[in-house]
Amino acid sequence: MRALVVFLLAALGCSPAEGRDVTRCELRDQLKAAIPDKAEDNWSRCFSSLLPSVVCHAQFASGFNTSAPPHVDANIWTLYGLFQLSNHLVCSDGESPSPNICGMSCSQLLDEDTDDDISCVSTLFLYAM
């Protein structure tokens, strides 16, 4: 399981729901704000060094669109939202088995609220540690 999370984090290195586009700077600031509450100093520094890659991933995965349509990959998994996170790992779509690491419905990743998306990404980083 940890290997899958680490793979997802490495990927971060490089719909009918309402949504909005966020700016690169807005996303960066929201990610920065999410980490201090959950992270120790060493972890915070590690995340800060990965921050540009996470923002870059969001740009290429969803074009910074909070309601980017789900991407289905040959019936293997479906990717949701701003960070295109997998229903087989981070959220539950009610159809596919998932450890649901973020403890949320995949549909929550498709709205204009970026707080849950960012909380999920920070949870993934903490889970990997």
The yes/no answer on whether domain 2-12+25-128 falls in CATH 3.60.40.10 is no
Entry field: residues in the chain: 129
pLDDT at 14: 40
Q: What is the pLDDT of residue 18?
A: 56
Closest CA to 68 of 12, 2, 117: 117
Strand pairing partners for 79?
71, 86
What does pTM read for this prediction?
0.70
Report which of residues 121 and 129 the model is more confident about: 121
**pLDDT surpassing 50 at residue 16:** no
Q: How confident is the model over 40-56, as pLDDT tens digits?
A: 566 667 767 788 888 88
Q: Is the pLDDT of residue 12 over 60?
A: no
pLDDT digits (tens, 9 = 90+) for 75-127: 688 999 999 999 999 999 998 899 999 999 999 999 989 999 999 998 888 77
Q: Which residue type is seen at 107? A: S
Q: How far apart are CA 114 and CA 27, in angstroms?
A: 8
Looking at the predicted structure, is the pLDDT value of residue 11 above 60? no
Give me the pLDDT at residue 19, please: 65
- Quote the pLDDT of residue 37: 52
